[in-house]
Structure 1
């Protein structure tokens, strides 16, 4: 579990760094750094289930917004035929940016959920 959390931590710090040139880094840097911090703490055998739940709830609410937002995941899937998200790293189409952000939130949710369930199991 320690190695997985170190990998997640490094990945989230890298993701946060890549947000530097993004139009909204003030939103995405804290999102990724919050996940990185919790994964780093978990790698040190410090688990905070209430913090995981808080992050999951906020990220899930934002993901739902990103799904139904104009140019969100629903539009990408229905109006743009699930266009290739990895064609270019520069997202010139808003539905590509919104969909990538949606999946970034789910990576964060996944990491926090893994730590939440591991912490619950460990305490039992």
Structure 2
């Protein structure tokens, strides 16, 4: 579990760094850094289930918004026929940017969820 959390932490720090040139880094840097800090703490065997739940709920609410937003995941899937998200890293089409952000949120949710269930199992 320690190695997985170190990998998650490094990945989230990298994701946060890549937001530097994004139009809204003030939103995405804290999202990724929050997950990075919690994964770093978990790698040191310090678990905070309430913080995981808080993050998961906020990320899930934002992901639902990203899904149904104009140019969101639903539009990407229905109107743009699930166009390739990795074709170019420059997101010139808003539905590609929104969909990438949606999946980024789910990576954060996954990491926090893994730590939440691990912490609960460890306490039992």
TM range, smaller chain: over 0.9
How far off is 1:84 after superposition? 0.1
How far off is 1:82 after superposition? 0.2
Note the alpha carbon deviations across 1:71-116, whole angstroms, 9 max, x for none. Answer: 0000000000000000000000000000000000000000000000
Unaligned runs of 5+ in 2: none
TM-score, scaled to structure 2: 1.00
How far off is 1:120 after superposition? 0.1
How many residues of Structure 1 are paired with residues of Structure 2 in the alignment?
Answer: 124
Query: SS of the counterpart of 1:90?
Result: coil
Unaligned runs of 5+ in 1: none
RMSD: 0.1
How far off is 1:3 after superposition? 0.0
How far off is 1:13 after superposition? 0.1
Note the alpha carbon deviations across 1:39-86, whole angstroms, 9 max, x for none. Answer: 000000000000000000000000000000000000000000000000
